[in-house]
Amino acid sequence: YSLKRRELDVRSFFAEALKEARISVEFDAERLTAIPETGPLMFVANHPFGVIDGIVLCDLALKARGDLRILLNSLLCQDRKLAPYFLPIDFEETKTAVKTNIRSKQLANEYLTQDIPVLIFPSGMVSTADKMGFGSVVDAPWTTFAAKIIREAEATVVPIYFHGCNSRKFHIASHISEPLRMALLVHEALRMFGQTVQVEIGAPIHWPELAKQGGRSDLTNFLYQQVQNLAQP
């Protein structure tokens, strides 16, 4: 709320949000400087938290390129100041949703040609523990949406892995009620105030290597594995 009252440049918003929440981020700065300064670039990441990982990912992209666009659930695209940086993805099975998603994909490709990085959590939802919330915490199956954009733009990809997960309460609630799960995302963000987020930044994977991976499904599986490989650096 205090950030809303201040006249912040959007490009400093995410860093200030982390500072306000007293959240520190641990990452290898050399990996960040290894990211190419020009050319189409996408960041793909696992999605363990739901809010904080989005803020951190945006901050990292800004540190690397000074600009960004992030593909995001349309329900989270309501902030007018930040809206220009959001590319909404609508998960409803409607004609309107299809039009929204096609438009966001087109815009993503346009921004990539302008050297503006595009960010995405390919799972489209926050990681959830299986076995009614008591099992292993895993991303939902990744969609091929990111792979389609990558192939069309012939983009370089930076894989990102976030260590950690939400509370057991969140994972149990996820198997009980979707509205309760969504409501608890705010609680999970507040729970991380004053904590440290550990992030692994993978080496950029350039298009010639990605082109060898086959179609969208194969490329998606490859990128998922590249992200998971970062779990044990």
Render 104-130 in DSSP notation, one character per residue. HHHHHHHHHHTT--EEE-TTSS--EET
Whether the model clears a pTM of 0.85, i.e. scores above it, the answer is yes
Strand partners, 160: 45, 201
Using one digit for the tens of pLDDT, what is the confidence trace for 185-209?
999 999 999 999 999 999 999 999 9
Judge whether residue 11 has pLDDT over 80: no
Q: Give yes or no for a contact between 157 and 208, defined as CB atoms under 8 angstroms apart.
A: no
Q: Which CATH entry fits the domain spanning 2-226: 3.40.1130.10, 3.60.20.30, 3.40.50.620, 3.40.50.720?
A: 3.40.1130.10
Return the structure tokens found at 9. Answer: 């440049």
Classify residue 20 by its DSSP letter: H
Sheet holding 24-26, edge to edge: 24-26, 196-201, 156-162, 41-45, 118-120, 69-73, 86-89
Average pLDDT taken over every residue of the chain: 92
**What is the distance between the alpha carbons of residues 99 and 136, in angstroms, rounded to a whole number?**
36
Judge whether residue 108 has pLDDT over 50: yes
Using one digit for the tens of pLDDT, what is the confidence trace for 62-102?
999 999 999 998 776 667 778 889 998 988 889 999 999 99
Please tell me whether residue 196 adopts helix, strand or coil conformation: strand
Q: In terms of Cα–Cα distance, which of 110, 11, 99, 133 is closest to 62? A: 11
Q: What pLDDT, on a 0 to 100 scale, did the predictor assign at position 1? A: 45
Confidence of residue 109 (pLDDT cuts 50, 70, 90): very high
- Residue 121, φ and ψ in degrees, nearest 5: -100, 100
In the chain, pLDDT over 70 holds for what percent of residues? 95
Judge whether residue 140 has pLDDT over 60: yes
Domain ranges of the chain: 2-226
Q: Which residues contact 127 (CB under 8 A, 6 or more apart)?
A: 46, 47, 48, 137, 138, 139, 140, 165, 166
Return the structure tokens found at 75. Answer: 């329900």
Comparison of pLDDT for 131 and 6, the residue scoring more: 131
Q: Which residues contact 45 (CB under 8 A, 6 or more apart)?
A: 53, 57, 119, 120, 121, 159, 160, 161, 162, 227
Using one digit for the tens of pLDDT, what is the confidence trace for 38-73?
999 999 999 999 999 999 999 999 999 999 999 998
